[in-house]
Amino acid sequence: MPVDLRLYAIIDPEHAGGRSLPDLARLVAEGGATLVQLRDKVSDTRAMVETARAVKAALAPFGVPLLVNDRVDVALAAGADGVHIGQTDMAAEDARRLLGRNAIIGLSINTVALAEAAPIALLDYVGIGGVYATMSKQQKKAPIGVEGLRHIVEVFRRRKAGFPGCAIAGITAANAGATIAAGAAGVSVISALALAPDPAAAARALRAAVDQALAARR
C-alpha cells in the first residue's frame, strides 16, 4: 500500500514544546498528520523503545503509521511500522531484510547524484531536503531550495513513475504549497507543529495547504 506523505510529522524530545511525545503525536494526528516519525538523538535504547510503544498506542485510534528515525532495532522492538534512514545509517538492503517486505522504509536525499543512486526497489519514499533553512536540525549544507527539490523529484519521476518524495526542513503553512507545486507528494515538519501553541490547529493549517496545492496540481 502506498505511503501517505501529505503531512509527515516528526516528533523529537529536543523540540517538543514542553509536551510529552505521545501527547504531541496525538495532537498532530487529530489535526490531520498522515505519518509520524519518532526522532530521538538523546535517549538510551530502552527509553526509546518505551517511547515508541507509547507513541504507537497514541496514534492507533487515528490509523496513522509510526516510523523510527535511524534505529531499526528500536523499530523492531517497539513494533513500529518502519524506519527512516539517512545516508550514513544502516543500508536500505539490511533494513529491508530485518524489517520485512511490509515495513515502510524511507531514505534521505539531498542531491541529484544520491537520487540517481537510491535503491528505489527497496524504498517506499524519500525525504528530500533540506529545502529551506531550519533550526530543528543542524544543517551541514546549504538549503537546496524549491528548484533543488524540483530537480531531485524529476530524477525519481524518470526512474519510477509515481515514486513519492516529501519535502523536509523549514516547512510552514506559508511555503508548503510551493514544495507541492515543485512535485513533492507531501511535507515533513517538526517545528511548525511541535512548537506551535496549538499543534492540532497547526497541523490542520498545514494539511489544508498541502491538500489545496495537490488539488491545484492535478
Check whether 39 has a pLDDT greater than 70: yes
- Which of 6, 26, 39, 71 is catalytic? The answer is 39
d(CA 126, CA 216): 23
d(CA 157, CA 128): 14
For 115, the 3-state DSSP assignment is: helix
Altogether, the residues listed in the chain come to a count of 218
What cell was used for 207?
494539511
Q: What is the pLDDT of residues 148-166, one digit of tens each?
A: 999 999 999 999 999 999 9
d(CA 69, CA 82): 9
Q: How many CA atoms lie within 13 A of 163 on its CB side?
A: 26
- The whole-number pLDDT of residue 217 equals 85
- What is this structure's pTM? 0.95
Check whether 141 has a pLDDT greater than 90: no
Residue where the block lists cell 494526528: 29
Query: Is 137 tagged catalytic?
Result: yes
Class of domain 7-122+189-197: alpha beta
For the chain, percent of residues with pLDDT exceeding 70: 97
Q: What is the pLDDT of residues 120-138, one digit of tens each?
A: 999 999 999 999 987 655 5
Domain range summary for the chain, segments of one domain joined by +: 7-122+189-197
- Which of 108, 136, 188, 191 is catalytic? The answer is 108
Q: Residue 166 carries which side chain, given as an amino acid letter?
A: C
Average pLDDT over residues 111-124: 97
Q: What is the mean pLDDT of the chain?
A: 95
The partner residues of 84 in beta bridges, in order of sequence, read 69, 106
Check whether 119 has a pLDDT greater than 90: yes
- Which of 6, 71, 137, 207 is catalytic? The answer is 137
